[in-house]
Structure 1
Amino acid sequence: MSSDIADPSLAYEGAKRIEWADRTMPVLRRIRERFAAERPLDGLRVAACMHVTTETANLIRTLQAGGARVALAASNPLSTQDDTAAALAVEYGAEVYARAGIDREGYYRHIHQALEIGPDLVLDDGCDLVNILHLERTDLLDGVKGGCEETTTGVIRLHQMAREGALRFPMVAVNDTDTKHMFDNRYGTGQSTLDGIVRATNTLLAGKTIVIAGFGYCGRGLAERARGLGARVVVTEIDPVKALDAVHQGFSVMPMADAARHGDVFITVTGNREVIDGTHLAVMKDGAILANSGHFDVEIDIPALAALAVEVHRDVRPQADEYVLADGRRLVLLAEGRLVNLAAAEGHPAAVMDMSFADQALACAWLAAEHAALAPAVHEVPKEIDTEVARLKLAAMAISIDVLTPDQEDYLHSWRLGS
């Protein structure tokens, strides 16, 4: 099988790290055992565009256990772990197209190479693979039964495609499950983003003013954890309901135009572009740190930052570039404006991705069985899948919960009983 990886000799080290991650992914491990017995994906070809990490590797192993042939391209050049890519290709028999730090041209070439598998199912992080299928590889569309999207950014793009009547096959919004929102977005992004910032800068967050753009699940997790580390937290929002929620959780809320003057650290998690623009950058204090945890590198206006700078000092620390403005102020951009939690750290802990990838695996099996009855639209993950993942996680943690009695079940499904 073909692959394009940086160094096959890294496979042994990669396999050790994949197995280490697997220790804290008990839900996915149980699903892998079930898939090996039931083979719900037998004979199917899966093309995936995802972050090439140890956790993703265990999802790929699960799909393979279910009978699938898998081709994987990286969804971000800075998040690729070359040893993981090598292990997947050499030790586990996947087709892998991923090299850390590859340029834009190589990034898209790898997606095209993964699509050469002629996919029955697709997995996407950010909708780039699905986008290419619809714009450049329309010859493959008739063979695609469906797919899964794991990011907020990707789901936004898919909904727009569906509204315009452009989407040609059913896509499951794995991003929107409760287990994904609660753990991946809130706990995973919350912890791993701050981990990336600390690794890249070795800054003390206690006492700092941290400005968080966006108060969705990711922003909430970030705000909670930043406050827990002793930071003063400012939230910027466009949604009045989310802004009201932030206020009642005790966070300061203001427009970015005001927050820009006060922040020590800025973190964007909105899924939109130019959330921090040139007017904001122009008034920031000396030494302000700029980080993004949205999927694409458009949330911070990097061209505007470059235009303001008279000097740029690359890699003043790993994954930290210093932009010197005309008046001597310095702004520090982390991870080139890409996902700081994956580029400057290791992304979410495996225990978090356990549930997200369990959702993905079970959604793939569901699509394989039900695709013929599904319209080309964006579909929610069936509630029973989300519930099963949560139940398996609780079981792995040796936690029991109550169950309804027959009388309670009858009461909830009856309208005849009064007060």
Structure 2
Amino acid sequence: MAEPSKKEEANRVVDEGIDVGISRLTEEKIQSVINSVLDNETGARLKTYVETCIHCGLCSEACHYYLSHDKDPHYSPVGKVKQTIWEMIKKKGRVSPEFIRRAAIIAHTECNLCKRCAQYCPFGIDIAYLMSVVRRIIHRLGVTPLYIQDTAHSHSVTMNQMWVKGDEWPDTLQWQEEEAQAEIPDLRIPLEKEGADIMYSVIAPEPKFQAQLIYQAAYIMHVAGVDWTMPASVGWDNSDMAMFTGDNEIMGRIKRAHFETAARLKVKKIVMGECGHAFRSVYDMGNRWLGWSMPPFTIVHAIEFYHDLIKEGRIKIAKKYQPPITLHDPCNVVRGGGLHEKARYVAHALCENVIEMHPNREHNYCCCAGGGVINTGPPFKMTRIEGNRVKAEQLFGAKSKGAQVLVAPCHNCHSGLEDIVHHYEIGLDIKFFGDIIYEVMEKPE
């Protein structure tokens, strides 16, 4: 494979987490850590994938980085594997610190773990898993990018990703309850209610930056007559960036706190807000690290929750949303969770005109923010924006058909798509399903 077409040295990104970590490495330590992970934390799955791949390159056309960089093979899924884990295996861990630096950047900022490529592989090889193994090695070597490592530290210290202190969480809920009582005087956000049907959980950016989403959720719950509660202490945040840094130990702590909180409150199921990675962490990742093949509770994403409320008539639509919308399919709830048709049921129930972007459903392009990539922070912002030109082209296609609003039922998707829409000057408003439900639902006098 030829040298990358981009001038890496001229465009070398400074990231203290990577650079300081690299300065502390020796080739002996690198070899020891790589072989420790390969020998003790992987098995038949890794061996099968590595030995099955025939280097056909069919995965390439699936990758938004590859398509957005004029089909540069370095950005193809198989190219990223060959530059990282395959080289580690081939050389039995004998690689240089500079190799590890490049591997950290590839695994953390040039792959969203979106799993679109697995659908194009004739053998179903899960390259997201291979990149996760690379991230695990990077974590064990102490070379994780600074911003996402800071988020993992927040999880470790506060059990949420935004350094929200203990008293700030219930204070925010009380504030939103009081705001909502201006519309419905008897509305409550029930805290620590034992035996409720559901525990509603959110990600930490909501109380930190988007408290109105909690307001809207409380309003929807009240009008629909839902028996619900929220915890007042740790376990309320369902997000998990440690899952994406390879820090499986902290990931396990976060998920255990979440499940144990639901068990303590004796709820029947957990309903999660509009977030994709958090959904993945609870139904597919954290539970497995803790030894459960399936989570100990029924896990319901907001899309399915809204679908059921609307279908059962517990939410009635006063007047459909008039601006034409297009629907983004988040990777972790559509490719990962199979909620594409329920998302469309909700979209058509709420909106007068739904314009499909193409491709869609499980073939939709990633937002390029998920998989922890947006959490690597400002040093790599343009990496993901330039790496998702193909998403901008997809959005332009929907806009050319009349779409004015982009509905993205996932927090990371929201943030990533906002950057795409702004940078490429697409001119779409971006909303959650909850925003539209609150606007169009029948409300009490």
Q: Same fold (TM over 0.5)?
A: no
Q: What TM-score results when the alignment is normalised by the length of structure 1?
A: 0.35
Q: What TM-score results when the alignment is normalised by the length of structure 2?
A: 0.34
Higher share of residues assigned strand: 1
